[in-house]
Structure 1
Amino acid sequence: MCRWLAYTGEPLHPSSLIVDTQHSIVAMALNSPLGAETVNGDGFGLGWYPVRKGDGPDAGRPHVFRSIEPAWNDANLREISQAVTSPLFLTHVRAAAAPPIQQTNCHPFRHENWLFMHNGAISHFGTIKRDLTFEVDPALYTGIQGTTDTEVLFHLALTYGLMDDPITAVGAAIRRVEEVGHAAGIQFPMQGTIAVSDGETLWTFRYSSQGRSRTLFHSADIPTLRTMYPDVERLSQFGDHAQVVVSEPLNDLPGVFLEVPESTVAVLDPTGYHHQPFLDA
């Protein structure tokens, strides 16, 4: 469906991960070995926080750059990702399943200080779109600008309290998708991996109704990697708190990227990486 990457840690140029790695997100857009589709060329997005929440006048306010160009063919993506620095950013390359290719359908989606992106699909979304959209709080409804299942899922989570309790809210949104889907005769309504952030913490989810979710990996901690690979100079570019969650590994070095378990939410914050079961019952 799509591929995505999320980073949190010491500020760096996003290009360090989305362009300059062996199997970068830009490379995955053209050739994704572990993806449901090999090519993800139906647009891309980059959302970044200039500073962490509470660290300045623009704290917690993300910027978003989205385009319908293929990521590998967009010079502006390279320029912007090399020009800005960020302690927390999300990037996404899209393979459109059904909704049209337009800028408002490119991830990540933004609401106030929140960013949200998704790889996967709500099965037979057109059949249950009306019922799900009508579940969105009327005060939030006007924020839906595109036609994707992801944007509706995001606004459902906002409706169910994302800004107060992201894990519970995303879980409630997914359970509602499953309830409506099952009522419509859809066996496996939900598929995907999700990333959401408020500018301080990053929550990433791997879940599907079938129990066969899209791939998702997190990086091992940098001090451990420096011990494992003392001769890899590239590791010196990253601070001790650098953490990445990505649809598939960015390089071929064993032990650098570890698979996020099925039905799991991974929480990344200044204290490190933590994960726990998510909707596994």
Structure 2
Amino acid sequence: MCRWLAYTGEPLQPSTLILDAQQSLVKQSLNSQLGAETVNGDGFGLGWYPANEAAGGIPALFHSTEPAWNDENLRELAHAIESPLFFSHVRAAAGPPIQQTNCHPFRYQNWMFMHNGFLGDFLTMKRDLVLAVDPSLYPDIKGTTDSEVVFHLALTYGLMDDPIEAMRQAVRKVESVGHGLGVRFPMQGTIAISDGATIWTFRYSSQGRSRSLFHSVEIDTLREMYPEVERLNLFGRRARVVVSEPLNDLPGAFLEVPESTVAILHESGYQYEPFLEAA
């Protein structure tokens, strides 16, 4: 459906990953090796927390309906910005129209959210799911995607206090509504959420066959494995990235996130937690 990446660590130009990597996100938008679609050209988004603000500040967003490979503004911004935490997403639309309000990542206060996947038979479930969103949050739904509804369900269930439990409740709601309406596999996807300090990434589907998701190994380990690769010197010791598919072909550089798992990125490294059993 889409491809995305999330980075945290020392301030870094997004271009290092989304433009310049061997299998960069922009290259994946043209030729995805592991995605459900080879081409992801229905718009893109970049969201970043400014390097000169304290962790947890308000992220900035740039969205475009242009294909990522064809947008000069993306290249200008990606080289001009330095950020300690950023999201980027390239979209393959699965029904909702190609418009800026449907481009990821989405934002609420200091939180960002992006999704690769879909809600099965979303139009059948949409009314019930939207009505489950807290009325105070409803005006903030700007687009027409299933992803933005999931984000606002998670906010409704307490995302800002407990992201993992809020996502569990949001997914349970999707599955409950879907199964009640005869949708066999309501939830599919990988999700990234951040408050500006920590990144939570989720891999889950009702069918138990989720979209691909990987994270990089620790940079010190990578340098020991590949001392001759000078490009690794671009990254600080806290640099970590979660991606829909690996950004290079170095064996062992990226590890697959297990099915039905939350991978958490923070100052001390990676942490896994179980998420949900497939319904």
Equivalent positions of 1:190-209 (< 5 A) are 190-209=187-206
Partner of 2:180: 183
TM-score computed with the length of structure 2 as normaliser: 0.98
| Cα deviation 1:31-83 (Å, max 9, x = unaligned) | 1010000000000000000138735xxx5210000000000000100100100
Counterpart of 1:129 in 2: which secondary structure? helix
Q: How many residues align?
A: 278
Partner of 2:123: 126
Aligned counterpart in structure 2 of residue 174 of structure 1, from 151, 171, 176: 171
Partner of 1:42: 42
Partner of 1:33: 33
Counterpart of 2:193 in 1: which secondary structure? strand
5+ residue gaps in structure 1?
Answer: none
Partner of 2:5: 5
Looking at structure 1, the residues matched to 240 and 83 of structure 2 have their Cα atoms a distance apart, in angstroms, of: 13
Counterpart of 1:142 in 2: which secondary structure? helix
Aligned counterpart in structure 2 of residue 72 of structure 1, from 69, 72, 77: 69
Counterpart of 1:171 in 2: which secondary structure? helix
Equivalent positions of 1:1-281 (< 5 A) are 1-51=1-51, 54=54, 60-280=57-277
| Aligned residue identity for 1:38 | T
Deviation at residue 280 of structure 1 after TM alignment: 2.4
TM-score computed with the length of structure 1 as normaliser: 0.97
Looking at structure 2, the residues matched to 227 and 280 of structure 1 have their Cα atoms a distance apart, in angstroms, of: 37
Looking at structure 2, the residues matched to 136 and 112 of structure 1 have their Cα atoms a distance apart, in angstroms, of: 17
| Aligned residue identity for 1:190 | M
| Cα deviation 1:102-128 (Å, max 9, x = unaligned) | 000000000000000000000000001
| Aligned residue identity for 2:91 | R
Task: Compare 59-68 and 104-113 and name the one that shifted more.
Answer: 59-68
Looking at structure 1, the residues matched to 139 and 49 of structure 2 have their Cα atoms a distance apart, in angstroms, of: 24
Looking at structure 1, the residues matched to 51 and 120 of structure 2 have their Cα atoms a distance apart, in angstroms, of: 37
Query: Percent identity over the alignment?
Result: 71
Query: Residues 157 and 169 of structure 1 are in contact (CA less than 8 Å); yes or no, is this contact kept in structure 2?
Result: yes
Task: Compare 43-52 and 194-203 and name the one that shifted more.
Answer: 43-52
Looking at structure 2, the residues matched to 145 and 54 of structure 1 have their Cα atoms a distance apart, in angstroms, of: 27
Deviation at residue 271 of structure 1 after TM alignment: 1.1
| Cα deviation 1:9-48 (Å, max 9, x = unaligned) | 0001000000000100000101101000000000000000
Looking at structure 1, the residues matched to 62 and 163 of structure 2 have their Cα atoms a distance apart, in angstroms, of: 24
Looking at structure 1, the residues matched to 157 and 230 of structure 2 have their Cα atoms a distance apart, in angstroms, of: 45
| Aligned residue identity for 2:83 | S
Looking at structure 2, the residues matched to 78 and 162 of structure 1 have their Cα atoms a distance apart, in angstroms, of: 32
4+ aligned runs moved over 6 Å, structure 1: none
5+ residue gaps in structure 2?
Answer: none
Looking at structure 2, the residues matched to 87 and 166 of structure 1 have their Cα atoms a distance apart, in angstroms, of: 21
